[in-house]
Amino acid sequence: MKTILITGGAGFIGSHVVRLFVNKYPDYHIVNLDVLTYAGNLENLKDIDTLPNYEFVKGDINDGPFILELFEKYQFDGVLHLAAESHVDRSIADPMAFIMTNIVGTVNLLNGARKIWKSSEGHRFYHISTDEVYGSLGETGLFLETTSYDPHSPYSASKASSDHLVRAYHDTYKLPIVITNCSNNYGPNQFPEKLIPLSIHNISQNKPIPIYGKGENIRDWLYVEDHAAAIDLVFHEGKDGQTYNIGGHNEWTNIALILQLCKTMDKKLGRAEGTSEKLITYVKDRAGHDLRYAIDSTKIQKELGWAPSLQFEEGIEKTVDWYLANPDWLENVSSGAYEKYYEKQYVNR
């Protein structure tokens, strides 16, 4: 039996990865480590939390001695590191939290793995990162695994730092690692500070849909279950020391995405087409807002045979269906504290 540590497993992407691994690999012992910040929610995993090969541990990756004790206790064969502070706006308001979790927390995990892994055989440290480390693209071109790093926010700078540290531990200590950099994820269980779940929530409540600037920023969108499948593939079949870019092949401007979402929501809610569009509200642009991200996934497709299964129109319909079928989940995580934070920081009403 392999014992696998998944950090941040109560969060959005992490919960989908935990569920996939617990269900697909009954002979693995999956340990989900999460500190349960605002974005961590064990309700995301209530369908698997009683299975015999799953265990939850509450703990903070910033606590170095605790992490070392955890590695000593469980003798992990592999680590899938998803725990991170991930919201750009929050990084602008509180950069130190991102430095601690994304940089110091990653080093604590690397040190734990280095301490107990006497050889690289049978072990793997998998660091999940973001395309934001590459900076901003112009109207053409795609991010490659060889693209130079050029982060523009405290969030992306902290993730770039953690990427470099993971590679440094591979080069210096021969730690067996892989890294993936993914595009924007969407789908069920995403905390409603991000564009799509926030917009679904606000449309449902007839509240304004905030759009930064003119809505011209472009992102590549990846359905979260497609991302989880790619993570599974890279963990088991990726080459040691390699980086793989994971993209959805779905480039949308923010405003085009929201118009598509409004159209889908009007249909699902039985409203006249165009009703939700009236909620669109343009707000002051984010500081250092990158214009365009787009990923070239050729490497993972050619070497490992992965490709996204859903186009955005299909994925957004599945996403809307899930949120409308789970209104209690959305209301429970949309706390008053979050609403006050959001309104104070980003929306002038």
pLDDT in the model for residue 226: 97
The rounded mean pLDDT for the chain is 92
In a domain, 346, yes or no: no
Helix (H, G, I), strand (E, B) or coil at 134: helix
| Confidence at 241, pLDDT banded by 50, 70, 90 | very high
β-partners of residue 6 are: 32, 80
* Distances in whole angstroms, Cα of residue 87 to Cα of each of 63, 91, 172: 22, 6, 31
Out of 54, 155, 223, 293, which one is annotated catalytic? 155
Whether 167 and 281 map to the same domain: the answer is no
pLDDT in the model for residue 35: 95
Out of 85, 89, 131, 193, which one is annotated catalytic? 131
pLDDT score of 159 more than 90 = yes
Domains: count for the chain: 2
Parent domain of 207? 195-218+251-288+310-339
| Confidence at 113, pLDDT banded by 50, 70, 90 | very high
In a domain, 345, yes or no: no
Question: What stretches of the chain adopt beta strand conformation (E)?
Answer: 2-7, 28-34, 54-58, 78-81, 124-130, 177-182, 184-186, 209-212, 218-223, 243-246, 251-253, 280-283
Whether 230 and 207 map to the same domain: the answer is no
pLDDT score of 348 more than 50 = no
Whether 262 and 173 map to the same domain: the answer is no
- What is the distance between the alpha carbons of residues 2 and 27, in angstroms, rounded to a whole number? 7
Residue range 183-206: mean pLDDT, rounded:
92
| Confidence at 286, pLDDT banded by 50, 70, 90 | confident
Which tens digit of pLDDT belongs to each residue from 6-33? 999 999 999 999 999 999 999 999 999 9
Is 32 within 8 Å of 15 (Cβ atoms)?
Answer: no
* Distances in whole angstroms, Cα of residue 211 to Cα of each of 5, 28, 100, 257: 37, 43, 30, 11
- Cβ atoms < 10 Å from Cβ of 68: 16
Whether 40 and 138 map to the same domain: the answer is yes
pLDDT in the model for residue 336: 47
Whether 23 and 56 map to the same domain: the answer is yes
In the residue annotation, 232 being an active-site residue is answered as no
pLDDT in the model for residue 174: 97
In the residue annotation, 132 being an active-site residue is answered as yes
In a domain, 347, yes or no: no
Residue range 30-38: mean pLDDT, rounded:
94
pLDDT in the model for residue 140: 86
The residue type found at 258 is I
Whether 227 and 87 map to the same domain: the answer is yes
Question: Which segments of 75-213 does DSSP mark as H helices, in order?
Answer: 88-93, 95-98, 105-116, 154-173, 195-204
pLDDT in the model for residue 344: 46
Instruction: At 15, list the tokens.
Output: 């919960």
In a domain, 231, yes or no: yes
DSSP output for 69-83:
HHHHHH--SEEEE--
14-28, 31-45, 193-207, 312-326: which is most confident:
14-28
- Cβ atoms < 10 Å from Cβ of 258: 23
CATH number, domain of 241, equals 3.40.50.720
CATH number, domain of 277, equals 3.90.25.10
Which tens digit of pLDDT belongs to each residue from 163-183? 999 999 999 999 999 999 999
pLDDT score of 349 more than 70 = no
- What is the distance between the alpha carbons of residues 202 and 323, in angstroms, rounded to a whole number? 12
pLDDT score of 300 more than 50 = yes
- What is the distance between the alpha carbons of residues 277 and 268, in angstroms, rounded to a whole number? 14
38-47, 96-105, 286-295, 338-347: least confidently modelled range: 338-347
- Residue in the structure block whose two tokens are 């929050």: 90
- Between strands 78-81 and 280-283, the pairing is unpaired
| Confidence at 335, pLDDT banded by 50, 70, 90 | low
* Distances in whole angstroms, Cα of residue 251 to Cα of each of 13, 106, 161, 290, 313: 20, 30, 26, 14, 12
Whether 181 and 148 map to the same domain: the answer is yes
Q: Angle at CA 37, nearest 5°, toward 31 and 38? A: 130
Percentage of the chain surpassing pLDDT 70? 95
Nearest to 296 by CA among 334, 254, 348, 243: 243
Whether 209 and 227 map to the same domain: the answer is no
In a domain, 349, yes or no: no
Residue range 119-123: mean pLDDT, rounded:
90
Task: Report how far Cα 148 is from the mean position of its chain's Cα atoms.
Answer: 21
Whether 152 and 29 map to the same domain: the answer is yes
In a domain, 295, yes or no: no
pLDDT score of 225 more than 50 = yes
Out of 89, 132, 145, 220, which one is annotated catalytic? 132
Whether 165 and 60 map to the same domain: the answer is yes
pLDDT in the model for residue 30: 98
Whether 88 and 226 map to the same domain: the answer is yes
Whether 143 and 209 map to the same domain: the answer is no
pLDDT in the model for residue 334: 65
Half-sphere exposure of 229 (CA within 13 A, CB side): 16
In the residue annotation, 212 being an active-site residue is answered as no
Q: Give residues with Cβ within 8 angstroms of 183, minimum separation 6.
A: 131, 219, 220, 221, 222, 246, 247, 248, 293, 294, 295
pLDDT score of 340 more than 70 = no
- What is the distance between the alpha carbons of residues 335 and 211, in angstroms, rounded to a whole number? 21
